Each structure stands twice: as structure tokens, then as C-alpha cells.
Amino acid sequence: MRNTFLAFSSAGPNRDFSKDTRAQPFWDEHAAFIDQLVADEFILMGGPLVDESGMPQGALLIVNAKDENEVREKLKNDPWFTHGILKLESIRRWQIFIDVRT
């Protein structure tokens, strides 16, 4: 059985706050990695978490997985995690009660 999980990340030690999201190192590799997980229907939604000024501070991914271990296993090779642009903070199972898409 598949479940929905929220994967929260924060800015990693190598995040360059003088550059926007798409100008970060390893953007192309990260984008290709994420695009593949979307194509595999693992990632359902995702994007940066921004502060009041609009500056990205981390990211949220909504994923479809069997359990938390699968989430960690799938995300561990993201170039932004391996190069410290993002840091995985937490994974929470989300039981959806309301969804206008269904």
C-alpha cells in the first residue's frame, strides 16, 4: 500500500543565498533527478519554502511511498542533498482527508 509523505528540507551549508534557486550549483543535475522522480510518480508536488521576503529557505516535497525508509532511499542521491545545497530535515506521513482533485 502506498502512502502520502511530506519531506521537509532546509537550506544546506552550501546554499548560496546570493543566488536564486535555479542559479544554485548542481541545478541541472537536481532538476533532472527530480524530473525522473515525478515521471516515476513518486513525487506528486514540490517546491521551495519561502520566507516573508520571498527568499527560498528550504523545500517541501509531497511524495507517494510505501514507508519513510522508501522516501529516504529515493531522495538520498539527490545532487542537492549530496552536495549540501539542501538538508533533509523531516519526513511525515500525511493522511489526506480533503482533496479537491478527487
- Could you read off the pLDDT tens digit of each residue along the chain, which spans 102 residues? 789 999 999 999 999 989 989 999 999 999 999 999 999 999 999 999 988 887 778 899 999 999 999 999 999 999 999 999 999 999 999 999 998 876
CA pair distance 26, 76, nearest whole angstrom: 15
Q: Which are the contacts of 23, defined by CB distance < 8 A and separation ≥ 6?
A: 16
> What CATH number is given for 3-94 in this structure?
3.30.70.1060
- Give the contacts of 45 (CB within 8 A, at least 6 positions apart): 61, 62
The conformation of residue 14, written as its DSSP 8-state character, comes to: T
